[in-house]
Amino acid sequence: MKIATWNVNSLRARADRVEDWLRRSDVDVLAIQETKCKDENFPWELFENNDYEVAHFGFSQWNGVAIASRVGLDDVERTFVDQPAFGKGGKDPVQEARAIGATCGGVRIWSLYVPNGRALDDEHMPYKLSWLDTLNRQAAGWLGQNPEAQVALMGDFNIAPRDEDVWDIDFFHENNLTHVSAPERAVFEAFLETGFVDVVRPHTDTPKTYTYWDYTQLRFPKNEGMRIDFTLASPALAARVVDAQIDREERKGKGASDHVPVIVELD
């Protein structure tokens, strides 16, 4: 079975590319982030015409997550338990469309679009840290209930956990940028301490291997990117991983997302 994650940065704008990639890649499950759709304008037919069931969670032109599967799509959950909400400037907190879970071919897949943080002193940063901390506590509970649970936390984590996961760590520190701060890295590391495994890195651990490149300043041609898209697998699922790839080619050409698909192959 092949499972993948991809922040498509507007599904409707990239529908043709997503459909072509699904046919080319032959993946069984795709966790999608940043659909930027409401349910009423989600391109359901794109997946149905290619024999995928799909579940979507989206409120507006922001955020939005989905799971497309051709190996079953059961027990869909929109948000995880106690998922933090956000209220800008003291406004009433609103639940954002950032997490959707479903069981696909016996694997509990979570498609996750982690809050960005925006700036180290921005009000989104404590929201981001709380969001991840709550998810980790829930995930620890899943493993506590069933150590053999097959769970994949897939998506755009908006964190580069190692210095080599950004194109120039000094640039990030000198400019007080997010994604590499100690609190962000600590909350990512907590998932590994819980028992989850970064199953893509062992198969893609070569210099300057990234999953995201900004559209500005020729970041992609210069390969000035970040590794911020991950699949964190429970121990039982990690034991089934036989290969993983980062599809850098999908960043090329007209109309590409700024992220690329990350694929995991299971035995």
Q: What are phi and psi for residue 118, nearest 5 degrees? A: 70, -55
For residues 1 and 71, the answer to whether their CB atoms sit within 8 Å is yes
Phi-psi region of 70 (alpha: psi -120 to 50; beta: other; left: phi over 0): alpha
* Cα 267 to chain centroid, rounded: 22
pLDDT in tens, 202-258: 999 999 999 999 999 999 999 999 999 999 999 999 999 999 999 999 999 999 999
Q: What is the CATH number of the domain that holds 92?
A: 3.60.10.10
> What is the average pLDDT score of the chain?
97
Domain that holds residue 58: 2-266
User: Total domain count for the chain?
Assistant: 1
C-alpha distance from residue 8 to each of 49, 57, 170, 173 (Å): 19, 15, 29, 28
pLDDT at 181: 98
Compute the distance between CA of residue 71 and CA of residue 103 in angstroms, rounded to an integer.
9
- What is the model's pTM? 0.97
89: pLDDT strictly greater than 90: no
What percentage of the chain carries pLDDT values higher than 90? 96
Residue 62 — very low, low, confident or very high, per pLDDT cuts 50/70/90? confident
Task: Provide the 10 A C-beta neighbour count for residue 194.
Answer: 17
pLDDT in tens, 136-192: 999 999 999 999 999 999 999 999 999 999 999 999 999 999 999 999 999 999 999
pLDDT at 65: 98
Residue 61 — very low, low, confident or very high, per pLDDT cuts 50/70/90? confident
Choose the weakest-confidence range: 14-18, 46-50, 85-89, 95-99: 85-89
Residue 64 — very low, low, confident or very high, per pLDDT cuts 50/70/90? very high
90: pLDDT strictly greater than 80: no
Take residue 105 and report the two structure tokens written for it: 């071919």
Take residue 176 and report the two structure tokens written for it: 């007080």
For residues 183 and 215, the answer to whether their CB atoms sit within 8 Å is no
In 3D space, the residue among 205, 266, 261 whose CA is nearest the CA of residue 230 turns out to be: 261
Task: Provide the 10 A C-beta neighbour count for residue 116.
Answer: 16
